[in-house]
Amino acid sequence: MTESPQPPTPELKNLTIEGEISDRPTTPASVTLTEQFKAFAKFGDPKSDGKQITLSNSDKWMKQAKVIDGKKITTTDTGIYFKKLKSIKVGLVDYKKFLEDLAKNKKVEIEEIKTKLTNCGLPGHHGVGVVKNTSTVDRLTDASKFTGTHKERFDDTGKGKGIAGRKDLVDSSGYVSGYQNKDTFDKKAE
C-alpha cells in the first residue's frame, strides 16, 4: 500500500514566490507579541506612542485574548501583579516580567499566555451587536401611559413640549389663573 499524501504544513501553505502578490490573508501567527503590545498600548489613547502600556489596556488585551476568564485569572490578579512593578505604564521588557510573574503565581504556562495574546487579533470592540427594540422598550417609552408631571411634558401625539412641558411659565396677560372668559371683555362691550 502507498501512503496518502500529507497535507501541507502551515509554513508551506502561506509560502509565496518572491515578487508574487498573495491573495491569501495573513494569519494571526504572522503578528508578533511586540506588534500586538504596540497596538494595545496605543488603543484608546491618541497621545500614546505604543512603547508603554497601562493596566487598563493590558486588561482589555487579556480579556480579548481570553487570558482573563474570571476563574483562573481575574482582573484583580492582573492588578496585583501589575502594581508590583510600581509604575502606571510599563514597557515591553517589564510587561514580559509581569506576564512571567502572573503565569508562575497562577500556575499557567507562560507560552500559552503569550500565544493567546499574540493570536487575539487587533484591538477593537467585540461582542457589541445591534440593539433590538423590544416590547418592553415600547411600553416604557409610550408617552400616553405617563402619569403625574411626566404626562404634562408631552402632547397628545407623544411629541415633547420642550421647556413648556418642564416649567410653569408665568402668564403675564393680567388675568388671574383659572379665569375662564379670557379675552372676551372687548366682545361683550360691543
User: What are the pLDDT digits (tens) for 161-177?
Assistant: 787 777 777 777 777 77
Enter the pTM of the model.
0.52
Residue pLDDT, tens place only, 94-148: 999 999 999 999 998 999 989 988 888 888 765 555 666 678 877 877 877 888 8
Residue pLDDT, tens place only, 11-52: 545 555 554 444 444 444 478 888 888 988 888 888 888 899
> 33 near 65, Cβ under 8 Å?
no
Lowest-pLDDT choice from 39-43, 73-77, 86-90, 127-131 = 127-131
User: Can you tell me the distance from the alpha carbon of 20 to that of 26, in angstroms, rounded to the nearest whole number?
Assistant: 14
**What confidence score (pLDDT) does residue 28 get?**
46
User: Which set of grid coordinates corresponds to residue 47?
Assistant: 497621545
**What confidence score (pLDDT) does residue 11 get?**
52
User: What structural domains and CATH numbers belong to the chain?
Assistant: 27-118 (1.10.238.10), 130-166 (no CATH)
CA distances in angstroms from 31 to 18, 26, 93, 119, listed in the order given = 20, 9, 18, 7
**What confidence score (pLDDT) does residue 97 get?**
92
User: Can you tell me the distance from the alpha carbon of 152 to that of 86, in angstroms, rounded to the nearest whole number?
Assistant: 56
